[in-house]
Amino acid sequence: MQEKILVLDFGGQYNLLIARRIRQQHVYAEVKSYSGITLEQIRGEGYKGIVFTGGPNSVYDPAAPHFDPEILRLGIPILGICYGHQLLAWMAGGGIEAAENGSEYGRVTLRSSGGVLFDAVPAESVCWMSHTDFVKSVPDGFIVTASTKNCPCAAMADDERNLYGVQFHPEVTHTACGSQILHNFLFKVCACRGDWTMEDFVSKSIESLRLELSGKNALCALSGGVDSAVAAVLLHRAVGERLTCVFVDHGLLRKGEREQVEQVFRRRFQMNLIVVDARERFFTRLRGVTEPERKRKIIGEEFIRVFEEEAKKLGKQDVLVQGTIYPDVVESGAGNASVIKSHHNVGGLPDRIGFERIVEPLRELFKDEVRAVGLKLGIPEELVMRQPFPGPGLAIRVMGEITEEKLTVLREADAIFREEIVSAGLADAPSQYFAVLTDNRSVGVMGDARTYGWVIALRAVSTDDFMTADWTRLPWELLARASSRITNEVRSVSRVVYDITSKPPATVEWE
């Protein structure tokens, strides 16, 4: 049986990170909200261990998230982190208080006195704290195993019952020995084997999809992005000919994108691929539209319409395949329910076309895991490692009204910028990089003559989560080469600028 750890979520901002750190140690972990799972379900799932996450509340606040204290008597090892540490202490009869000297926040020196969680951890190390409340008195049966200057109980242990708590965050990289501490919990306390691998995931998924979808027809909308590509290839390995993929060319793709999709899916994997040339339709609907949100809405609606028409032409399709990944599922707070990416192109479809159901083969995986699966399936690296590209495509990178001319100029400039970054060996340095066609023209001079051409902006950002981002400090020489090539090779561009705004206050995309 697949061994797994439950990350019981009490509202902490690092809940996903905890699951990811555990998986990096080859133990499968899943996040469930404290309100989305019962004691009975936990008992029935056969978890090897449970982690209580952090959270923004104070345990003594009656409105704070709590859990049935019987969980401590299930015999399953528990590790409480931050709020989870306080909650564990509180449930077991300990005392929690607000710190007199205010909160501890950031890097703090941790002194440990040993114990199984601190095996192979130096007596003094740096940990990362973020709390106001602290455990004042440890519950019966527990001993303090670490402290900091302001936190007398930075870690506690009850080896008898396999209950452990840490006030700091072992999942963040600032905690020097965080992964060793998690390792100790997983392998020394929970006795995990650590045999969860991507190969296993791939072969088990194919096998179970094969059984589950026996005799059924499946339809998948390819967006050109990583998630739908990996989901489609996985499905193809399970049901072969019975999968049809639809790729809508809305005319807002980057240079060479449609050809790449055809090359990979039709020629390399020999999949049933329908490429719909809907450029004219989208273009007509977008004519005269300048407002960014309006552009997004039109594109979303039109996409659904095109996809729906194609699906109807194909006759009965039993299931719709979607590339939903784990952060989409958890962030939407949907727990066990099926989630459809509304943001991406196919929201609202299933009801209208009458699929039996949706299949989401990647809903347990993080982005880096999806990429690993993609590589294992033989999808070319340039597609698997590709930077994110927004559903509305170049429409939100052409400021103002979208015209064929503006799109052509942007496509060429963007291709040059991408080429230069790749040939400088920096393709992995920024998280996302692209060109934008501003709605401005500026005066220039070329061969003694006055020009009046477009202003192209280049954007490259570095970020972990795209919620905040900094502009990437690309080498000047690289920017110089890109600028010179764009102004020389792309007709009607007179000026190139580099965007040096972080997010916030700006966003990654210009519209």
Check binding of 503 to ligand XMP (CB under 6 A).
yes
Measured from the CB atom, the residue of 72 and 457 that comes closer to ligand XMP is 457
Measured from the CB atom, the residue of 108 and 253 that comes closer to ligand XMP is 253
Q: How far is the CB of 349 from ligand XMP (least distance, A)?
A: 16
Measured from the CB atom, the residue of 127 and 329 that comes closer to ligand XMP is 329
How far does the chain reach from its first CA to its final CA, in angstroms?
48
Contact region with ligand XMP (CB under 6 A), list: 33-41, 139-147, 486-494, 501-509? 501-509
Measured from the CB atom, the residue of 11 and 292 that comes closer to ligand XMP is 292
Strand partners, 455: 495
Measured from the CB atom, the residue of 374 and 392 that comes closer to ligand XMP is 392
Q: How far is the CB of 11 from ligand XMP (least distance, A)?
A: 24
In the list 60, 105, 452, 466, the residue contacting ligand XMP (rule: CB under 6 A) is 466
User: Which parts of 282-321 interact with ligand XMP (CB under 6 A)?
Assistant: 296
How crowded is residue 197: how many other Cβ atoms within 10 Å of its Cβ? 12
Judge whether 453 and 444 are in contact, CB under 8 Å.
yes
Amino acid at 123: A
Q: How far is the CB of 374 from ligand XMP (least distance, A)?
A: 18
Judge whether 431 and 470 are in contact, CB under 8 Å.
no
List of residues 6+ apart from 503 with CB closer than 8 A:
461, 463, 468, 469, 470
Handedness of CA 131, 133, 134, 135 (dihedral sign): negative
Measured from the CB atom, the residue of 90 and 389 that comes closer to ligand XMP is 389
Number of residues located near ligand XMP, criterion CB under 6 A: 13
Contact region with ligand XMP (CB under 6 A), list: 162-170, 316-324, 478-486, 503-511? 503-511
Check binding of 94 to ligand XMP (CB under 6 A).
no
Q: How far is the CB of 464 from ligand XMP (least distance, A)?
A: 12
Q: How far is the CB of 114 from ligand XMP (least distance, A)?
A: 45
What span, in angstroms and rounded, lies between the C-alpha atoms of 318 and 320? 7
User: Which parts of 386-445 interact with ligand XMP (CB under 6 A)?
Assistant: 388, 390-392, 432
What span, in angstroms and rounded, lies between the C-alpha atoms of 92 and 237? 50
List of residues 6+ apart from 41 with CB closer than 8 A:
none
Check binding of 507 to ligand XMP (CB under 6 A).
yes
Handedness of CA 31, 37, 39, 43 (dihedral sign): negative
Token pair listed for 324: 């939903």
Residues shown for the chain: 511
Active site residues: 82, 169, 171
In the list 20, 23, 183, 344, the residue contacting ligand XMP (rule: CB under 6 A) is 344
What span, in angstroms and rounded, lies between the C-alpha atoms of 144 and 127? 16
Measured from the CB atom, the residue of 256 and 388 that comes closer to ligand XMP is 388
What span, in angstroms and rounded, lies between the C-alpha atoms of 342 and 138? 47
Amino acid at 198: M
Binding string to ligand XMP for residues 129 to 168, with x set by CB under 6 A, is what? ----------------------------------------
H or E element, residue 106: strand 104-112
Token pair listed for 361: 């083969």
- Per DSSP, the three-state class of 279 is helix
Q: How far is the CB of 426 from ligand XMP (least distance, A)?
A: 18
Q: How far is the CB of 502 from ligand XMP (least distance, A)?
A: 11
| Binding-site ranges for ligand XMP (CB under 6 A) | 296, 343-344, 388, 390-392, 432, 466, 503, 507-509
